[in-house]
Amino acid sequence: MPPDRERPHHPLDRFIARVKKHHTVYGLRSPDDESWAVCASREDEDLDVVLIWSHSDFATEHRREEWSDYIVTPISAEDFVETWLQGMHADGSFVGPDWDLKLSGPEIPAVEMAERLSSD
């Protein structure tokens, strides 16, 4: 059962707290290892948003339609910060932490996400 999504904090604060506590994020990876779940930004359709979740159940909920055969894949928080976010920054991609089933949620620059996850 996924953790309660209805806590009174901002969704980004909940995401950061969960990742810091469990040291893991989850993505949806294609079966051929060629791609991950990515959406166009709702704010700027020229930007890609890489979807990342703080709980495996949240990622599992998104295994439908175009991502129905994608694999819920854990990523260590350390690897996410040191490798993924650096690559996303270089690509100009944003992070979509804990997006809902309507594919909406915060769109965070990779540098800001790295700073938040690295702070105490």
Give per-residue pLDDT as tens, 18-30: 999 999 999 999 9
Give per-residue pLDDT as tens, 48-101: 999 999 999 999 999 999 999 999 999 999 999 999 999 999 999 999 999 999
Domain parsing of the chain, residue ranges: 11-118
CA 16, 96, 85, 65 dihedral sign is positive
The reply to whether the predicted model has a pTM over 0.85 is yes
How far apart CA 87 and CA 53 sit, in angstroms, is 18
CATH architecture, domain defined by 11-118: 3-Layer(aba) Sandwich (3.40)
